[in-house]
Structure 1
Amino acid sequence: MNAEDCSKLRSFPPTIKWPSLEDLHLSGCSSLENFPETPEEMKNLKMLILNGTGIKDLPCSFHNLSRLWHLGIRGDKMCKIPSVIGMMPGLSRCEIEGGGNKGKVSAKHAERLQGILVTHSLHSLNMSILSLTNGNLSDDFFPLAVAWFPNVKFLDLSGNNFTVIPECIQEFHSLLRLDVDDCKHLQEIRGVPPNLKTFSALNCKSWNPMATSVLVNQEVHQNRDTWFALPGRSIPGWFEHRSWGSSISFWFRGKFHSEALCLAILLKDDLRSSVWIEPILTINGRIFSDSFSRTKVDQLLILHPLTDSPFNEVSFENKWNYLEAKYKYNPNCRMASIAEEIGINISKKNSIIEDIRYSDPYRRTKLMRR
């Protein structure tokens, strides 16, 4: 059933019994303030999209949508996380956008949610994609989230008002991506989930670089294929080779695994807004890049640019091979070069590297022959 953009739709029947319904789309029904009761189990409904409605909360009988897989609620009327979703262990993808300062998860509401968790033993909730944006979530949200969404893989908390991401975030063992863009009060991050690969913290005005050192720790980036876009004033010291400007290069010989290379790009301070960056690597003049490497950045980007590339399948003929790293960026940016500095780190762990040179080894040989 699709009733999108029916702006005059005010109500459904008080109760609905639609056993065959699979998808229900009500986005843009701005006059609809209440979702009907579902007194009987509806086993076939998989997707429910309520973006831009006037619905503020969901009824308790909502849990009878027992096979619901995807729930979307985006709009300024939603002022809290509906507690009933804690009774829906089959829910895998949930996107809830609150009403900015209108939305708030209070301590009392958090206690209520915690009570639901204990009552229903929802420690195995099957949520893998969760977006809770612009909801004014506070610091108290994280201990609750760890208990409520233990298996989440993609977590978007952009536009919220928490000031600290506590150490308990490390208990998200399945988390692969974390977005906290536009969290203007965020000051400190005290832990990194053990399998986190992608992190984005754009426009975080209160960020304290000294209090978020865990994100630029060498072990974090050498043990996984990371793509971190975050505030920063300098490239971490463990990047042993650096270059001012828009490119950096080195020579290598022997077997070189793609996971060994970590790249850092520090943008200039006078950028007015974030830009899209696409790292480009050439080896002996051949381009190695993929279509999924564009990343939005406003200050510092730390990444493994050869992830998912065919790099490891190539046999290099030259004794010494020349690798150059540069980047493309948003063409709307008028600056000739947006990078203040570029850094490279090459991990010797888990890779076989016979030799690395940061100056031209062929030039050195020619000089010796003379």
Structure 2
Amino acid sequence: MDLSDSQYLIEIPDLSRAPKLKQLILRRCTRLYKIPTSLGHLKQLIRLDLNGCKCLEILPHKISLEALEIFDFGGCSRLKKFPEIVGNMSRLSKLCLSETAIKDLPLSMEHLTGLIKLDLRECKNLSSLSNGCCCLKSLKILTLSSCSKLDTIPENLGNIEGLEELDLSGTAITGLPLSVVHLKNLKTLSLRGCLGLSSKSFNKLLSFPLKQRKRSPNPMGMLECSLQGLWSLTKLDLSYCNIRMIPDVIGSLSSLKKLNLKGNNFVCLPESIIQLSNLEDLYLGGCTQLQMLPKLPLNMYVIDARGCTSLETLSFSPEYDFGPNMNLVNCVKLIYNQGKRDLFSTFLRHRMIRIIKRGYNPNRLSYLTIPGSEIPNWFRHQNVGASVNLQVPSHLLLSSKFLGIALCAVYIFRQHHRIYTQELCLVKVNGYTYFGYPLSLSEEFGKIESYHLWLQYFPFTRCRWKEELDANEFTQIEVTFVTDGPGWEVTKCGAHLIFEQDIEDLNQTKPGSSSCTISPYYEDDDLGDSEKDAKIKESRDDEPPHPKWTEHPNLIENWIGNSCIQGQGDSDCE
């Protein structure tokens, strides 16, 4: 029976005459305030869903629903008490009590032996978790986020041996029980916004001693006995905890893939982080005290350091096979201390070489965002505004040596807002849109008042449009940046077609050397805007063509821009 959104339903009749009822769905019946006692004895009821019944206050004192599988009271904000569990309710797999006014749960929760997911998020009055909940051997997901009065977790939490996800974000806890080291299957742990963990309390939180309960005089020693037991942990969220130091022991989380440290106050990361060989994503946005990053694991995919205004050093070297996507918005000190040329050339080299060696994953694009106001010289096609056109001999795009296209845009925020702005980079080939890549930009970690560069590489290795090209004709490629909201403006953009020779050139280039073939920035700070724009539009007829081109001189003469790739003999470095 589904009576969802019945705004005038105040109470439901006696259900004892409907013993075969299997589903009772009353979602968003906002005037419903009472459920009859007879509901607690419906032996064949499989689903009971009253999500969003904001006036619901009264439930049966006891329930014995043997067939029940889904029990959803989320958003019943006046519900203060959960019924006693009587008899066998082993089939119940999902219990949602989020956003209710419940203060505690009965010990009889232990009878829910088949429960897999327990959702108690935003239960603002919940001050403790029943020991009965910690007897649920089948429980895999426990959500307690934003339970702001919850300051302790039962000592027997470790009994939930199958627990895989534990969300304690936004709670008032200052530590975890000793038994947490027994959660050998725990994969996700979120402590986001647990301000009680700041400073010394953070060490106490992660200190899960294995044998003794009394506090160790050495919090770092306690910590070393902690995380080492969570071998299955793949996601750890410690964001916005006011943490001032990340301990070395974090390097023992051998399965960790995602580490979120946003909004904290530490100055550096421990060198042991390089031991996290499976780490892919590192989030550091808003860590305004962070000054240095040590060498990081080679397999990393994302480093998000937006708003790390004190960051000065990123440890990498030309021979260090390290090329993650990096968001370095407002990291002005890093750019001027580390060197624009090194950062740009290293990014290109490692990202493209990695794609060739390991294959292209369409779900994982390659990008770099850094402060800057000029398109690097390396991009052979440049234009003022939000679009750039390339007219390319089709036979070059059909060549097995053609790999993809690198794009670059200079952007600035004309209006400031914290919300995400969704932008789109469109790539059209002969008028047809073959690529559309979303770009998410925000001022979550402070205003973006300076110009920034966005760089991205798109492999063209699996494009059906190649079948439509005529080797004897030209192909028109148009790159356009569009936005769905105000405030974001692209002032200049550029493109560069990538061939195998470019990879060879990049692989041989040593950042900072006088013989490098990449000069990422114009340094014409004394030029006016009109002079700079004119410089961008200059033709490069004086530059020699790439050796490949001599095979088709008739096409070269007519191709606008004269060249799409840079040969080994070209050099824009001073």
Band the TM-score falls in, shorter-chain normalisation: 0.7 to 0.9
Indicate which of 156, 164, 167 corresponds to 1:72. 167
1:98-177 to structure 2, matched below 5 A, reads 98-100=193-195, 102-104=196-198, 106=200, 108-109=203-204, 111=220, 112-117=222-227, 120=229, 122=230, 125-141=231-247, 143-148=248-253, 150-165=254-269, 167-177=271-281
Indicate which of 300, 306, 314 corresponds to 1:202. 306
Matched to 1:114, the amino acid is E
Offset at residue 70 of structure 1 (A): 2.0
Distance 1:364 1:279, change over 3 A: same
Matched to 2:251, the amino acid is V
Indicate which of 322, 340, 350 corresponds to 1:220. 350
- Per the alignment, in what secondary structure is the counterpart of residue 71 of structure 1? strand
Indicate which of 428, 434, 440 corresponds to 1:295. 440
What are the ranges of 5 or more consecutive residues in structure 1 without an aligned counterpart? Answer: none
| Residues 379 and 494 in structure 2, CA contact (< 8 A), matched pair in contact too | no
Matches of 2:410 and 2:304, distance apart in 1: 15
- 2:426 pairs with 1:280: yes
Matches of 1:87 and 1:193, distance apart in 2: 27
Distance 1:46 1:76, change over 3 A: closer
Distance 1:81 1:245, change over 3 A: farther
- Per the alignment, in what secondary structure is the counterpart of residue 424 of structure 2? strand
- Per the alignment, in what secondary structure is the counterpart of residue 304 of structure 1? strand
Offset at residue 65 of structure 1 (A): 1.1
Matches of 1:257 and 1:72, distance apart in 2: 49
Offset at residue 146 of structure 1 (A): 2.4
Indicate which of 117, 126, 136 corresponds to 1:42. 136
| Residues 251 and 274 in structure 2, CA contact (< 8 A), matched pair in contact too | no
Indicate which of 465, 480, 483 corresponds to 1:326. 480
Indicate which of 180, 185, 189 corresponds to 1:94. 189
Distance 1:131 1:215, change over 3 A: farther
- Per the alignment, in what secondary structure is the counterpart of residue 251 of structure 2? helix
Instruction: Show the counterpart of 1:32.
Output: 126
Matched to 1:246, the amino acid is A
Q: Pick which of 309-318 and 183-192 moved more.
A: 309-318
Matches of 2:464 and 2:269, distance apart in 1: 37
| Residues 375 and 410 in structure 2, CA contact (< 8 A), matched pair in contact too | no
Distance 1:136 1:279, change over 3 A: same
| Residues 411 and 453 in structure 2, CA contact (< 8 A), matched pair in contact too | yes
Matched to 2:144, the amino acid is L
Offset at residue 45 of structure 1 (A): 0.6
Instruction: Show the counterpart of 2:39.
Output: none
- Per the alignment, in what secondary structure is the counterpart of residue 142 of structure 2? strand
Matched to 1:265, the amino acid is A
Task: Tell me: higher relative CO, structure 1 or 2? Use CA pairs within 8 A at least 6 residues apart.
Answer: 1
Distance 1:130 1:104, change over 3 A: same
- 1:70-114 residue CA offsets vs partner (Å, 9 max, x unmatched): 2222215245677755432212233321245x5425374352231
Distance 1:257 1:159, change over 3 A: farther
Offset at residue 151 of structure 1 (A): 2.0
- Per the alignment, in what secondary structure is the counterpart of residue 44 of structure 1? coil
Matches of 1:157 and 1:60, distance apart in 2: 27
Aligned length: 352
Distance 1:62 1:81, change over 3 A: closer
| Residues 28 and 52 in structure 1, CA contact (< 8 A), matched pair in contact too | yes
- Per the alignment, in what secondary structure is the counterpart of residue 248 of structure 1? strand
TM-score normalised according to structure 1 size: 0.76
- Per the alignment, in what secondary structure is the counterpart of residue 191 of structure 2? strand
Matches of 1:86 and 1:349, distance apart in 2: 52
Instruction: Show the counterpart of 1:246.
Output: 386
Distance 1:43 1:76, change over 3 A: closer
Offset at residue 212 of structure 1 (A): 6.0
Matches of 2:381 and 2:269, distance apart in 1: 31
| Residues 406 and 497 in structure 2, CA contact (< 8 A), matched pair in contact too | yes
| Residues 258 and 281 in structure 2, CA contact (< 8 A), matched pair in contact too | yes
- 1:129-163 residue CA offsets vs partner (Å, 9 max, x unmatched): 3332211233424x333212x22233332222223
- Per the alignment, in what secondary structure is the counterpart of residue 252 of structure 2? helix
| Residues 139 and 163 in structure 2, CA contact (< 8 A), matched pair in contact too | yes
Offset at residue 232 of structure 1 (A): 2.1
Indicate which of 351, 367, 372 corresponds to 1:233. 372
Distance 1:197 1:312, change over 3 A: farther
Distance 1:342 1:117, change over 3 A: same
| Residues 257 and 312 in structure 1, CA contact (< 8 A), matched pair in contact too | no
Distance 1:176 1:339, change over 3 A: farther
Instruction: Show the counterpart of 1:317.
Output: 469
- Per the alignment, in what secondary structure is the counterpart of residue 195 of structure 1? coil
Larger CA Rg, structure 1 vs 2 = 2
Offset at residue 203 of structure 1 (A): 3.4
- 1:156-187 residue CA offsets vs partner (Å, 9 max, x unmatched): 32222223345544433323333322323333
| Residues 235 and 343 in structure 1, CA contact (< 8 A), matched pair in contact too | no
Distance 1:259 1:231, change over 3 A: same
Instruction: Show the counterpart of 1:346.
Output: 498
